[in-house]
Amino acid sequence: MIDINLIRTNPEKVKENIKKKFQDHKLHLVDEVLEWDKKIRQLKQEGDDLRSKRNSLSSQIGALMKSNKKAEADEIKAQVVKNNERILVIEKETAELDAKIKQNMMSIPNIIADDVPIGEDDSKNVQEQTFLEAKVPDFEIPYHTEILEKLGGIDVDSARKTSGQGFYYLTGDIARLHSAILAYARDFMIGKGFTYVIPPFMIHGSVVQGVMSFEEMGNMMYKIEGEDLYLIGTSEHSMIGRFMDTIIPEDKLPITLTSYSPCFRKEKGAHGIEERGIYRIHQFEKQEMIVICKPEDSEEWYKKMWNYTVELFVSMEIPVRTLVCCSGDLADLKYRSLDVEAWSPRQKKYFEVGSCSNLTDAQARRLGIRYKTDKGNQFAHTLNNTVVAPPRMLIAFVENHLQADGSVRIPKVLWPYMGGTKVIKVI
C-alpha cells in the first residue's frame, strides 16, 4: 500500500505507475481516493468546529443556570443536542469513507523502480546474467517423473487416489535427497548470518490481506472452513505477519531470517496443474529468506539475497540465470523482482526456481511494521526470496546430474546430508 500523501501531492505519478503495470482499469481508484479524502477533511473540519462550539455552549449553560435563566439554557441545550447528532453523522460518514479509501488503497499497486522493464507479461522479462555453462548431454534425458520413477523415488498415481491431481509421494533416496537439499539450504543461510525459524503454517485473514494483493489471495490461498485461518502459500506470509503492529528498535535492524515451511497453493487458473510431473503442484516445501530493514538499505539487501540463491545453486553445480521481471509481471506490492531460473537440459531452456522481491514499505504499511528513530517512527522495508523449493529443484537437479545409465550423481556439498551417498542408482 502506498502513502496516501503521494496521491494527494502527485496523483499523476500514481496513475502513470498504474499504466506501466497495464492496469488501466484501476485509474479511477486514484480519483475516488482524492474525492473521498477531500470530503473526509471537510467533514473533520466541520466536526472540529461543532465540538469547539459545543464546548463553548456547554459553558454558557452553566452560567445561565446559575443566573436562573432556565429558558435560555434550554434553548442552548437543544442546540448542543443538535450539534451532537450532527457530530455522530459526521463520524459515521467519515468511517464509511475511510473504509472505502482503504479498499482502494489496497488495490492501487506499489510504485515500481524506475529501471523496471516495461512489459505486459513474463514474456517481456529481461535476462540479466547466467552462471555456469548450460550443457546438453549426448544422451536422451527423459521427463523428470520417468527419471524419478526409475530411481524408485516418486509415486504420483497413489497420490492421485488419496489426494487428487497436483500431489505426489516421494520415496527412498529421492525423498532423502529432497530433505538433504532443504537441510543444506538451511545451513547455507545460517552461514550467511540468517536466523533459522519454523513459523506457523496457518495465518489469520488480516495477515493474508497485509502480505498480498486481493487477486493473489483469491488465486492462491486455501481457507479453513468455518475459521479465520488460511494455509500459507509460502512462509513469507507468517514470517512478515510476525511483526504486525510492531515498532522495532532501530538498532535491531536489519532483521534477517530464513524459514522452512510446507506451502499450499490453489494454483487457480494456472496452466499445467493437470499435467504429469511436479513443476506446478498444490503442496510443496520451501526454504525462504526474509529481511526487514531501513529504507536506505533495502536495495543492497535485494542484491545480496538473490545472489545467495545463485550461489546455492552454483554450489550444487546447477546452471542458472537471473531474469529481471517486467512491470506487468510484478505483483501489486512489489517495487522490483528478479527470478532465478535453472537450466533444463531436456527442454534446452531455463525455468523458474525462485523469486527475489523488494516490496519497499508496501507490506509494512498494510501490517503496521515500523521502526523507532530519533525523528519518530518510520515504516520499514520488507524483502523476501526463495532459497530453494525442492520440487522444482528436484527437476533441475535430476536433469543436470543424470548420467547415461539413468543414475543421478550427488554433488560433493550434499554428501554429508546424504549419509555419504554419491550416486542414486536405478532400481
- Nearest CA to 144 out of 406, 404, 354, 417 is that of 406
Residue 270, pLDDT > 70, answer no
Summarize pLDDT for 79-129 with one digit per residue, the tens. 888 889 999 999 999 999 999 999 999 999 999 999 999 999 999 999 999
Q: What is the mean pLDDT of residues 258-273?
A: 75
* pLDDT of 275: 54
My answer on whether 141 and 266 are in the same domain is: yes
Q: 343 Cβ partners below 8 Å, 6+ apart?
A: 132, 134, 135, 318, 319, 320, 321, 349, 350, 396, 400
My answer on whether 131 and 92 are in the same domain is: no
423 beta partners? 409
Residue 273, pLDDT > 50, answer no
Domain membership of residue 111 (yes or no) is no
Residue 269, pLDDT > 50, answer no
pLDDT band at 237 (very low <50, low <70, confident <90, very high): very high
- Nearest CA to 317 out of 414, 182, 426 is that of 414
* pLDDT of 55: 78
Look up the domain containing 275 and give its range.
122-424
Mean pLDDT of the chain: 93
Parallel, antiparallel or unpaired: strands 154-155 and 169-170: antiparallel
Give the DSSP per-residue string, 340-351: EEEEETTTTEEE
Summarize pLDDT for 10-61 with one digit per residue, the tens. 999 999 999 999 999 999 999 999 999 999 999 999 999 998 888 788 777 7
* pLDDT of 274: 40
Task: Please state, in angstroms and rounded to a whole number, the distance separating the CA atoms of residues 307 and 94.
Answer: 47
My answer on whether 127 and 89 are in the same domain is: no
What is the CATH classification number for the domain harbouring 263?
Answer: 3.30.930.10
For the record, the C-alpha cell of 114 comes out as 524506475
Residue 403, pLDDT > 60, answer yes
- Quote the distance between the C-alpha of residue 213 and its chain's center: 9
Cβ 383 vs Cβ 301: under 8 Å: yes
My answer on whether 24 and 69 are in the same domain is: yes
My answer on whether 98 and 206 are in the same domain is: no
171 beta partners? none
- Nearest CA to 424 out of 406, 407, 412, 402 is that of 407
Q: What is the mean pLDDT of residues 3-11?
A: 96
Residue 242, pLDDT > 60, answer yes
Is the Cα dihedral 113, 116, 119, 124 positive or negative?
A: negative
pLDDT band at 276 (very low <50, low <70, confident <90, very high): low
The SS3 of residue 65 is helix
For the record, the C-alpha cell of 291 comes out as 529481511
Cβ 344 vs Cβ 396: under 8 Å: yes
Task: Please state, in angstroms and rounded to a whole number, the distance separating the CA atoms of residues 105 and 101.
Answer: 6
Cβ 371 vs Cβ 378: under 8 Å: yes
Domain membership of residue 114 (yes or no) is no
For the record, the C-alpha cell of 235 comes out as 512462509
Q: How many CB atoms lie within 10 A of CB 256?
A: 19
* pLDDT of 165: 85
Residue 67, pLDDT > 80, answer no
pLDDT band at 336 (very low <50, low <70, confident <90, very high): very high
Q: What is the mean pLDDT of residues 221-247?
A: 94
Helices (H) and strands (E) in the chain, counts: 13, 18
My answer on whether 75 and 140 are in the same domain is: no
The residue assigned the cell 560433493 is 412
pTM for the whole thing?
0.90
Q: How large is the greatest C-alpha to C-alpha distance in the chain, in angstroms?
A: 109
Parallel, antiparallel or unpaired: strands 408-409 and 423-424: antiparallel
Q: What is the mean pLDDT of residues 410-415?
A: 98
My answer on whether 265 and 363 are in the same domain is: yes
Domain count, the chain: 2
Q: What is the mean pLDDT of residues 374-393?
A: 94
Q: What is the mean pLDDT of residues 371-381?
A: 94
The SS3 of residue 92 is helix
* pLDDT of 290: 97
Q: 339 Cβ partners below 8 Å, 6+ apart?
A: 125, 322, 323, 325, 352, 354, 355, 356
Domain end, chosen from 41, 72, 105, is at: 105
What is the CATH classification number for the domain harbouring 74?
Answer: 1.10.287.40
> Measured between alpha carbons, how far apart are the two ends of the chain, in Å?
53
pLDDT band at 268 (very low <50, low <70, confident <90, very high): low
